[in-house]
Structures are given as C-alpha cells and as structure tokens.
Structure 1
Amino acid sequence: MPSIPLRRLPLAISLAIALSLPVATASAHEAQDPTGAGHDHDPTDLARVEVRATPLAGTADNLVRPVEVLTGEALDAAKSNSLGETVDKLPGVQSSYFGPGVGRPIIRGFDGARVQVLSDGLGSGDVSTISADHAVSIEPFLADQVEVLKGPATLLYGSGAIGGAVNVIDGRIPETTTLAPLEGRAELRAGTVNDQRTGMVRLDGTSASGNVVFHFDALHRETGDYEIPGFAESEAAHAEHEDEADHEEPGIAGILPGSAIRTDSAALGVSWIGDRGFLGAGYSLFNSRYGVPGHAHEAHDAHEEDGHEDEHAEEPHAEGGARIVMDQRRSEMRGGLDDLGAFESLRVKLARTEYTHTEFEGDAVGTVFDNTATEARVELVHQPLAGWDGALGVQWSQREFLAIGDEAFVPGSDSRDAGLFWIGERAIGPTRLELGARHDRSRIDIDDATAIGPDRDFDTTSLSAALRWDIGEDVHLSFGLDRAQRAPTAEELYSSGMHVATGSIELGDPDMDVETANRAEVGVHWHNGPLRIGASVFQVRFDDFVYLADTGIVEDGLPVRAWTQHDARFNGAEAELDWTFVDNASGAWTMRVFGDVVHAELDGSGRRDVAIAVPHGDHDHHHTASLANDGHLPRIAPARAGAELRWETGSWRASLGAVRYMEQDDVAEHETATPGYTLVDAHLAWHADTRSGNAWEVFVDGSNLLDEEARPHTSFLKDLAPLPGRGIEFGVRAFF
C-alpha cells in the first residue's frame, strides 16, 4: 500500500472518516429503522421552511418582508468556496470578488459594511468589512440553510444591516433532539479547474436519556492556482500601461498566480434539551490560507517549470508573492425557554470571537489584524397584545480591533454598540401588517484619537412598515416602507495610508455624519400549482451616503481614494419565474428564469472641492480634489438575466443553466467600464437509498462551460484576476 505524504495527512484523515462513517452506522440503523423512514431526502418544500433570521415564526413563503432561502438540494448545488458565490444566483444578490477565497454577498447593489453576515443570528466576528481581501469566516459547505433578507434588516440586527443580511444556519449548538441516536452526512469532492480536494463530515447524536445532544463537524479543503482563459491582466489594463518602462508583461496564460486556498474548519457543540427549553455551548475554529491574486508573479513561473502543482496546492503561496493566513476561534452559548406566561418564548445568545488575519509578503510578515468581538442578544416573543404578535429584544456588542505593521491603514479601535428593538405583526382581513422600531447607540474609541481624529458617538433610529395583501388564494401584493440609519465604521472615519490589497491610498473622514436611507418597495407574487412568479421594484434615497471616491490624485504611483458623503439614489427591480411545465413518466421538467438590475447615482449637481491630506513620512502632502455631486457610484453590480432547466425522475436529477452579466458602463469618475460575459453551468446527480436507511449521492458539476473570460465589475481586481475558466467538480455525498 503506498504511503501518504505528511502534507496530505489532514486530507487523508478527512476522507477516511467521511467514507467510513456511513458503513459503521449501517447496522445500527437497520436495527432501529429498517424501513429507512427516519431519513427523508426528498426535495425541500420552501413553503414549510422556517426562517430563523426573524424572531417571529414564519416561512419563506409567508413572511411579509422580502427573503430568499437556500436549503436542501438547492443549497448542495449552490455551495462554493465563499459565502458570496454560494448565494450569487438568487435574484438581487451578487458577490464581491478578491480571488476564490474571498467573496462577500452584495444585496441589491449594497455591500461591505451595509450587509450583515450572521451565524444563526449573531455576527460572524470577522473583519471582512474592513478590506476587500478579508474573507468571511463562515464555511458554506457546513451550512444547513442560508437566508437572505433583502432590504434593510436594521430593525433586527442594527446599522450594519442597512442593505440587508445573510443568516447562515449550521446547527452547531443543537436546539432539538435528533430523530436517531446518531445521524449525519459526509461529502468528498474534487475539481479540475484548481485541483480541488475537499472532505467534510458532520455528526449529530442524542443520548439514551434523550436530554443530551451533541454536534461535531469538520472540513478540509485544498486547491491550487486555478486555470483561466487567456491572461490574468485584462487587455484594457495592459494596453493602458504597456508604454510604461517598468510595466511587466501580462504573464503566462492559462493560470492565475496567487489563487490557491487551504481551509480547515471544525466545531463541537453540546446541549441539554428539556421539555420547555434548552441550554447549549459550542466551540469552533476556522483557518484559511489563501493567496492574493495580482501580487504574485515571478514565483509562479518557477513553480510551473518545476511542475510541482501538488506542492503548490498544499501551501497557497510562492516566495515573493502575497498571501494571507486567517485564524478564528469562536465560543458560544445559547439558551431558550418556552411558555413563560406573558411571553411565548425567550432566546438568549452569546458569542466571543478571537480573530487574527496575517498578511505575508513572501516570507515576511507585512500587517497583522487582530479582532476580538463579543456579542449578546436577547429575544422575547410576547403573547398576542391588542391583536399584535410581537417580539422585543436587546443586542449588545463590543469589538477590539488592532492593526500592526507598516501597511496598517486603519488605526486600532474599541467599538461598542447597544440596541433595543420591537417588531410586531397583525392580520387585518386579507392583509398582514408588520411594524418595527429600533434604536442603537454606538461609540468608537481610537487608540491615537488626538492625531487621527476625535472619538465618536452615534445614535441611530430605524422604523419599518410592511404590508402583505392576499388578493386571492394564489396572488399577493407586498409593500414596504423603511427609514433606516447607519453609523459610519472605523475604517470610513479613520483610514489613513496605503491599502496594499486594493493598490491605493485610502483616507477616511473623522467628521462624517450618520447615513440615512428611505426605502419604498412594491412586489407581486403568484403561486398557482406548478407555476410561481415573483417580481419587485424598489427605490432607496440616501441622505449622506458614505462611499469610497477615487479623487483622481496620484501619490507615489498609487491612486488616492477618499471616504466621503453625499446624497444618493438607488433604483432597482428583480423578477423570477419557476414553472414545472411537464410532470409525467419522463420526469419533472422545470424552467427557472430570473433577472435583476440596479442603478445607483449621486443625487445632486455640480462639483465640490474636498481637502485631501496624504500621509508622507513625518508630514502630509496637501491636495484639493474636485468631486462630482452627480453621476454613478463605483463598483455597482451589473444587470443580469439567467435561465435554468431542471429535470428530476426517480434517483436522477440534472440541470443546465446560464447567466448573462451585462456590460457595466454606468461607471463613476476615474472608473472603467466592464465587458459583459455569460456563465454556463450544469449539474448531474444520482441518489440511492439503502435498506439500512442510509443514502448515497454521486454528483458531477460543471462551471463556466464556455470557458469565457469573466471579470466582475464589483471587484477591485477585475483587471488582474478573472473568474476561473471551465471546471468540472465531482464527488459523493453520504447521508446516515
């Protein structure tokens, strides 16, 4: 038997566990459930999927506020290396991109600090909003359900959710007993475009007494640099700089240096379940090592000549290239009680996260980001009061952030936030009305406030009203009005220096005011048997919208970008059709069509002069930048149109889809247009249930089947790092 190299040992262990567990549990399941009735692998009915992002019980179909849910087979098909890529085919949702290890959700054109990423109702605890190269510390492959709240979710989660929220349910702290004493799932997959190898396993079990429930999960992923069609540098960027004496050649074709990843994740949770509630605790870790595309060139050439692709995949960097090592440790406690007299239920959540992000230039440490976050949340659902079902809650968080290194463009800070909210719902004839209000008080203390700017306090208040009108049994209209406020973040207020990831000098404004958004939305939904149609239009008007403007100033060869404020307006629309047009002996044939568009512009006229002070050694270089008060905002997601044909019969299911990303030529000053592109994908899976009650699934997934050059307009690296080329992933899943 051939030996396993030491560098492959973690992957080998993951694969061995994943393969052996279904076999080991087969005999036990045969004795307990010979019919296999305890395992249901049928497609999930979204009309019955409870949305956990809101304290008021509701499903994906009957919530008043707009929500999208991924679960079951749809989630299995969508799972990717990043959370943003996992949800980016939902209407109105796209992904940022800074290489395959970094992708944050963009909801209706809003990204960064306006979209809250949650782990079952609590913040992820990372610093992915500070810089475009910081990854979200949530592993999509371990998720049971992903919920996307579109429109302001500030009522529930504070000012960081002014553009929406993505809530990932992973069940790491059990709240109910399992159907069988031991159950779980495992998956192995491999990919061609980047030599991917992924193994994951999950176990859930209940003690003989029925009161103690445990959860365990683990994942290991390795990839090499991924293949691309053509060169990494775009033709437009190369043509712009080809006359410069120090400009490099576009590099080798066919592969993107610095795009390898290695990720490890694991968690253990234990709960005591009683008749009226539960109390549980959990501990998890997440470690990811990934290259930064656009910052590694020379070493890759040497690597290619030596032909050591496997060794390169094991460590996602090369000498002289830029890479990131991210490590997070998270401790959580959760508890709940039901039937408390005046209250239906009480839920308490507490998490403490210790996060470190280290940036390497070759073998030398460049900058270290440390973040320690503590968050607590209490939700009380009260009994009906004057016809209103409602919930009130309080949320508190603290973040201690420190950046160390010559390239630390954001100062250390201590941020605190406390919020109080109420949300209620009442049926009035054929309508259901939802009202809500929240007030937050936040404070940011800076380590060197006298030199950078003053410490800041902010008060934000958000109000919301939504109405659902059931016109008939199959059709309903929805209306939404919101006034939401957001406090500026530390990076928007105090950035001052070179931001290596984006290749720019980034400057904050410590005198910024609170950002206020006023949203109006109208939607229509029709569900009649095999046909489901939904569409919505919305407008959001911002007072003092915060954005990163390119000033047109160049300092030391780098563009100078400044955080600034001005009124802005977002207009958008999205639509989706899902139609099972044939369901007979040949199988169920379903067509899905969707599209979305958003236009984002500054709401003003003329120009304004802004004083710019660029740090330069022990003094500043002073400039005056002329910024437009009108025109388009930068890095807004392009319009899209997509279609998918799905087929399912017996043990087989398959799909073929395409998404057209339109050219984005509605660009801000000093921003270039991005060509459109089409991404075609396909999926095939075969499912088999065993007599023991277990199940197996073999799958093949294809992505970018046309091998098209695709450059997301939302990416700072669009001219340096295209999306992967044609790729095939294949593997096996086990349910037991």
Structure 2
Amino acid sequence: MVWGRLAAGAVVCIVLPATVFARDLTLRDDKGPVAGAQVSIRGQSGSYVTDAAGVARLPDRPAASTVLDIITPAGTRLERTISAGTTIVDVAEPPPLIPGTLPPLRVTASPLSRGIDDIATPATVLAGDSLNQRRQSSLGETIKDVPGVASTQFGPGASRPIIRGMDGPRVRVLSDGVDTLDAATVSPDHAVTSDPFLAKQIEILKGPATLLYGGGAIGGVVNVIDSRIPTSAPTKGYEGEGQLLWDPNATAMTGMLGFTVGVPNVALRLEGTHRLSDDYFTARKFGDPPSRRVRNSFNDTTSWSAGGSWIGDWGYLGAAFSDQKKEYGIPSEETTFIRMHSQRVDVRGELREPFTGIEAVRFRLGHVNYRHKEIEDGEVGTTFKNNATDTRLEIVHNPIGGLKGVFGVSSFWRDFKAQGEEAFIAPTKTRNHALFLLERYSWDSFYIEGGLRYEWQSINVRSDQPDRKHDGLSASLGAMWDFAPGYTVGLTFSRSQRLPTAEELFASGPHVATGQFEVGDPRLKVETAHNLELSLRKKTGTFQFGVSLYRNAVRDFIFAAETGDVIDDLRVVNFRQQNAVFYGLEADAKYAVTEYLDASVFGDYVRAKLNRSGGNLPRIPPGRLGGRLDARWEQWKAYLQFYHVFKQGDVAAFETKTGGYNMLNAGISFTSALGPLTAYEFFVRANNLLNEKAIVHTSFIKDSVPLPGINVTVGARFTF
C-alpha cells in the first residue's frame, strides 16, 4: 500500500494486492471514477488518459518498482512507485493543513456543478495560493488580474470589480449567494463591504449562469465564500488560521485571525481583521504641487464576525453577526474622507435529501444596517443609509427523465436614504422578487443546460417623481461537448433583462467624488441583453488552456451621457438609453515545463460602443497580455508575472485617452510545520518592480490616483 497526494489536500492510497496482474490503473474518488487523468510510465514514451470509468489501460505488465507519473484533471502531478498487480486509487479529502493547499475546487454559485471543470459558464475560482498571492485591501483590486476582470480603482478604500467592461449594478457582488447589501453600486467611491482577508474562496462567473442571481448580473457575478457560519465541526475539536502583513510603501499593517471550535453537532466561529495604512507613494511625481505621495489615500478598516451552526447528517443550520467599521480617504478630494459602519446578520441552512426526489434544500438570508458619512473639511457633508434584506431558497431535485435541476425563489428589500449636501437622490424603497429554474440534461460526453428567471420590482420614491414598477424575463441555453479526453467546447446563449435602479431613475444633484452632476430619468425602460459565447477548454495534461469569444448586444442600454454642460464645476450627465454592443476575447494557457516549473500566458480584450451613433462607451478597460512562471521546490514556492496593459484610445465624448504600461510582479514563500498540527508560511511579494507610473483608465479619478510604485509586502500565515 502506497500513500501520496493526487490533488492538493487530497490523500491517495494505491492498493496493490498480489494477485493476477491486470493492465488497468483505476482512479476513483468518493463520488466515483476520476476521468481525464493522464498516466505515464517513467522511461517510456506515451501517456494514457483515464476514461469515463476512471480506467487507464497500460500497455504491458509493469516490472517491480515501476514509477508512474499521474497528472490529475486539475493539473496536479503525482509520482508513485508500484509493483505488478491490480491498482486502485482511492481519494479522500481531509482538511488541508499547509497554508495554500486545497481539496478540488467546487463552484458553489453554480448549484449543479461538481467542480470548476463541470460548469457551462466561464468561471474562475480563487482559493489557496492563487487567492493568497492576490489579496488586497479591496475586492476589486484583489481580483483585477483575472482575465476579463478589471477594477474601478478609487484608491485603497473603495474599488469595485468590472467584468467584461460592465460594472456598478450590472455586476452583482455576493456573500455566499446573497447580496453584500452595501451602497457600492450607488457610486464608485463607496466601498464594497466584503473583506478579501476573510474570504476562503472567491468565484467569478461570466455569462448566462449568472441568471440565477438576477438580470442585473448581465455583466457577471462575484461570489465571496467565507467561514463565518461553519458547515462542519473540526475533526480535532478546533482549528484556526491567521495572517500578518506589512507594506512599507503605505506603512500598512494588516492582521487576520480566525478560530473554530466544535463537537460533533455544534460548531462556533470567531474571526476578525484589522488594516491600517497611510497614504501610498506612486512611481513619479504628479499633481500641484508635484509629489509622489497620493494624498488622502489612507485606509483604516476593522471587521469581525461571530457565528455558530447546528450540524448533523441531515445538513446544517447556522447564523452569524458581522460588524465592519471603515474610514478611508477620497484621493481626488484632499479634505474629504468616508466613515462607514455596516452591521450584518446572516442565516444559512441546508437540508440533505429531506424528501424523496429532493437532493438538497438550501436557504440564505442576509440583513444589513449600513450607513456612511462623507466628512468634508471636518464637517459631515452627506450621510447615506441603507437598510436591506436579501433572501434566497433553492431546491435541488434528483434526475427526472434525465433532467437534474434547481428551482427557487428570491426576495430583495432595500430602503435607501441620502441626507445632506450631496443627497443627489430622494429616499427610495426597492422591492424585488423572482422565481428561477435551471435544468441540465446529460448523456455520454454531452450536456445541455437551460434556465429561466422571472422577476418583478417596485420602487417607491419620496418626492414629486412617480413611483415605478418593472418586470423582466430572462432565459439561457448552453451546451458543452467533451469531444476528446480532456477537451471541451461550449456554446451558450442568454437573453437577460435588467431592471433600472433607483439611482438611474431618480438621481438629481451633485456628486463631487465623480466630478458629475447626475440627472436621472424616471421614464427609463428595462434593459435587454442578448449574449452569445463560444468557448474551448483543455482541462487535463501538461498543456492546458481556455479561450472564450463573446458578443453581448444590449437593447436600451442605460448609461450616464456627458452633456457638455457644467454646474458648479461639475460635469452634467444625464441617464439615457441607447442600443449598445460589447464584444471581446479572454484566453489563458498553462504548460508544465517540468515537475517543478509551470509557464502560463493570459490576455483579454473588450470593445464597447453605442449602435446608433457609433460612439464609444466610457471607462472601458484596455486590452492586456502577459505571462507568468510558477516554480516549486520542496518547501519553497515562487512566481514571476509580467503583463502589458495597452493604451486606451477608444474613448467616449469628453473622455481622455490613457497610455499603456508594463507591470512586473514577483513573490517567494517558504512553508513548513511545527509538529503534526500546526503549519506556517513566510512570504514576500513585490508589485510594480519596474516602478512604472500606471494610470488606470477605468477610474473616475485616474489622473489623481496612479497605482503605487514599487511596493513590497512581507507576511506570514499559519494554520492549526
């Protein structure tokens, strides 16, 4: 019997009974056969891929002490020495001990998916090392290097994700399936309350499967998975993790600590983070007077959460209370900063096989009491308040006539108020309800996935403007074909309707942070997007890749159009509707050069313009192209990443062009253990090693907030 690792965090046992030799090597996990793994015999040419039954047919009887090289569908290498005999590989999934190691990744935002390679929608999952190497103070900055994703870049305190050129209300940010319920969609200077240092996994979904989360997600979905509500009790009665980071560029210190205790049926969780950073420095002097210091770019954030669960074979039911206080500067306004306080209650539960024919019933509820004050010259200028609740019920049914699916309901309530000098929108109450259905039919190496969503919404406004009601019907259809071992081609089509937001309908007033005087239009209609996407992926072997081509035609696209007028030094923008089209390309590829070195390339491009006038839409991310090396040797890991951001010359009216820049990043880490129960990792990562003055085109305040110059982060993380 030989023990080893088949996937990060997965223990492998190869059982070799001394019986009559069979040439089959069988790989199995706890869900069944492991298809698409590549097996080769060291010293011989050729490799053998496991079929749908998890079987690789070896060419001949191996001699004693034959060395097998196995590459899993996730790309993990396994080296094992076997003797002649029948071989069976069983995979268990114990909790990871070493920081950065993970069991096979599952996309929780796609309820029919077993894993990252079993999903029709283009998706990226950041966890373990891939997440640890990217963590920043804001969600947008954490995920901005993922192909197809950019950031609004409003300083260290507030940066939202942009997906395929769309942001704001077209990209939904979720906390384990329900909305973050902050005020980030109202303005780019408002922070997303999700703390990247408390995330254990971040899922980025693009395309039609986002239909489950509303027509408003026509750009995409970012789902942040956390640990605040335990779903299982620690096997040894307790477990925990912590991090400590220091960045001298901004004199920034970040600390995180989480601890879970439990007995077989009860688990409790306590976690928290604190980040304190001063103004950061960029590569070149700018502004008046010239300086490398980005004034008023400080960030002081404290987040904590306490939760617990009742756990059994039937599932789990848990709740958590979270609190976040944040104070951060607005770099474009040197005397303005935001003081934010958000309190949140979450309830989550899952029943496993409660009735015949039902695989699972899942429930999510999030309620938030949010407020922030904009402090100008030491006085409170404007106060924003948001009391909101988001609920969701999903029922996953077992196959019926070959169809397996999920159906459910969701409801969203939001009471929003703005009071003070920049109260550019009257108080509103938004009520949104929806029914949704997603079904999948599979046979052999082919499957089809289709979905429907109907939602209706009412917005009541306390002003002389009329209340508004809208409804929308969205549908999607996708097909995937594993036409060869490890290769998948997919074609998806969706028709999604997005209902106008209160800000787009009723805005009327100054917005100093963006330099605009915003004017809404209560006559706005529903947006309708038609998205077509073709993808090709190779998921196994030493060479893996993925490429997606998409075109998204949006009828009655709502955008803030520059009028050319100025009121009190603010540009006047009117919310208008016009047909628009977005199209683009995303691609990445990875090659395992040796057992210890991987090389990868990646890139993305998006173009967005209005149909009738042919004009460009504003703040569309420029194209990127880059490469990366990942090395590992025993307890050491290192990476080197370079990418070029091209200049953006396809600009809208009254928008300026932005030059391109190069970005060189690197990192190294050392991992070890203190006894059998505690592991630690020391790491150093450096960004912008070329010390380039990098201007982010998607930022409203791009000329006031270049990216940091050379910045080095030194840190440690541990698990126990």
| Shorter-chain TM band | 0.7 to 0.9
**Residue identity (%):** 40
Match of 2:175 among 119, 134, 145: 119
Does residue 277 (structure 1) correspond to residue 315 (structure 2)? The answer is yes
1:331–1:352 CA contact under 8 A, matched in 2 = yes
Does residue 463 (structure 1) correspond to residue 475 (structure 2)? The answer is yes
Matched to 1:651, the amino acid is Q
Cα separation, 2, equivalents of 1:170 and 1:517: 31
Q: Measure how far apart 1:58 and its partner are.
A: 2.3
1:657–1:681 CA contact under 8 A, matched in 2 = yes
Q: How does 1:2-401 map to 2 (within 5 A)?
A: 39-41=96-98, 44=101, 48-207=104-263, 210-233=264-287, 250-296=288-334, 321-339=335-353, 340-401=355-416
Q: Measure how far apart 1:41 and its partner are.
A: 2.5
Scaled by the length of structure 2, the TM-score of the pair is 0.86
Cα separation, 1, equivalents of 2:398 and 2:208: 26
Q: Measure how far apart 1:164 and its partner are.
A: 0.6
Q: Measure how far apart 1:491 and its partner are.
A: 0.7
* Equivalent residue, structure 2, for 1:239: none
* Equivalent residue, structure 2, for 1:612: none
Higher strand residue share: 2
Scaled by the length of structure 1, the TM-score of the pair is 0.84
SS of 1:722's partner is: coil
Cα separation, 1, equivalents of 2:248 and 2:189: 25
Cα separation, 2, equivalents of 1:106 and 1:75: 18
* Equivalent residue, structure 2, for 1:446: 461
Cα deviation 1:152-195 (Å, max 9, x = unaligned): 45521112211110000002111122222111111111001100
Match of 2:640 among 656, 665, 671: 656
RMSD between superposed Cα atoms in Å:
1.4
* Equivalent residue, structure 2, for 1:598: 606
2:332–2:513 CA contact under 8 A, matched in 1 = no
Matched to 2:276, the amino acid is E
2:124–2:204 CA contact under 8 A, matched in 1 = yes
SS of 1:634's partner is: coil
Cα deviation 1:423-474 (Å, max 9, x = unaligned): 01111332111000000000110011x2xx2111010110000111111112
| Deviates most, 368-377 or 148-157 | 148-157
SS of 1:409's partner is: coil
Does residue 428 (structure 1) correspond to residue 428 (structure 2)? The answer is no
Q: Structure 1 pair 153/323, CA: closer, same or farther in 2 (3 Å)?
A: farther
1:38–1:693 CA contact under 8 A, matched in 2 = no
Cα separation, 2, equivalents of 1:39 and 1:527: 23
Matched to 1:217, the amino acid is E
Matched to 2:505, the amino acid is L
Higher helix residue share: 1
Q: Measure how far apart 1:693 and its partner are.
A: 2.0
* Equivalent residue, structure 2, for 1:631: 615
* Equivalent residue, structure 2, for 1:670: 654
Cα separation, 2, equivalents of 1:88 and 1:424: 31
Matched to 1:294, the amino acid is S
Match of 1:504 among 512, 516, 520: 516
Q: Measure how far apart 1:362 and its partner are.
A: 2.1
Cα deviation 1:64-107 (Å, max 9, x = unaligned): 11111000111100111111111111111111111111111111
SS of 2:663's partner is: strand
Q: Measure how far apart 1:350 and its partner are.
A: 1.3
2:97–2:678 CA contact under 8 A, matched in 1 = no
Matched to 2:712, the amino acid is I
Cα separation, 1, equivalents of 2:180 and 2:149: 19
SS of 1:216's partner is: strand
Cα deviation 1:492-540 (Å, max 9, x = unaligned): 1111011011112111111000000000000101134221111010000
Matched to 1:410, the amino acid is I
SS of 2:261's partner is: strand
| Deviates most, 162-171 or 224-233 | 224-233
Cα separation, 2, equivalents of 1:126 and 1:184: 28
Q: Measure how far apart 1:411 and its partner are.
A: 1.4
Q: Measure how far apart 1:660 and its partner are.
A: 0.9
Does residue 516 (structure 1) correspond to residue 532 (structure 2)? The answer is no
Matched to 1:658, the amino acid is F
Q: Measure how far apart 1:336 and its partner are.
A: 1.5
Cα separation, 2, equivalents of 1:409 and 1:280: 39
Cα separation, 1, equivalents of 2:306 and 2:700: 37
Matched to 2:337, the amino acid is R
Q: Measure how far apart 1:637 and its partner are.
A: 0.6
Matched to 1:211, the amino acid is N
SS of 2:694's partner is: coil
2:331–2:705 CA contact under 8 A, matched in 1 = yes
Cα separation, 2, equivalents of 1:43 and 1:416: 41
Paired residue total: 627
SS of 2:131's partner is: helix
Q: Measure how far apart 1:332 and its partner are.
A: 1.3
* Equivalent residue, structure 2, for 1:701: 685
1:373–1:399 CA contact under 8 A, matched in 2 = yes
* Equivalent residue, structure 2, for 1:491: 503
1:154–1:462 CA contact under 8 A, matched in 2 = no
Cα deviation 1:378-412 (Å, max 9, x = unaligned): 00011211110001010001000000002111211
Matched to 2:110, the amino acid is T
2:244–2:256 CA contact under 8 A, matched in 1 = yes
2:189–2:330 CA contact under 8 A, matched in 1 = yes
1:372–1:400 CA contact under 8 A, matched in 2 = yes
Q: Measure how far apart 1:45 and its partner are.
A: 6.4
Does residue 579 (structure 1) correspond to residue 591 (structure 2)? The answer is yes
Cα separation, 1, equivalents of 2:483 and 2:290: 60
Cα separation, 2, equivalents of 1:251 and 1:185: 45
Q: Measure how far apart 1:344 and its partner are.
A: 1.1
Match of 1:550 among 553, 562, 565: 562
Q: Measure how far apart 1:230 and its partner are.
A: 2.2
* Structure 1 residue runs without a partner (length 5+): 1-36, 234-249, 297-320, 605-628
Matched to 1:705, the amino acid is L
* Equivalent residue, structure 2, for 1:734: 718
Match of 1:477 among 469, 475, 489: 489
* Equivalent residue, structure 1, for 2:541: 529
Q: Structure 1 pair 152/287, CA: closer, same or farther in 2 (3 Å)?
A: farther
1:152–1:163 CA contact under 8 A, matched in 2 = no
Cα separation, 1, equivalents of 2:275 and 2:423: 29
Moved >4 Å (runs of 4+): 42-46
2:495–2:531 CA contact under 8 A, matched in 1 = yes
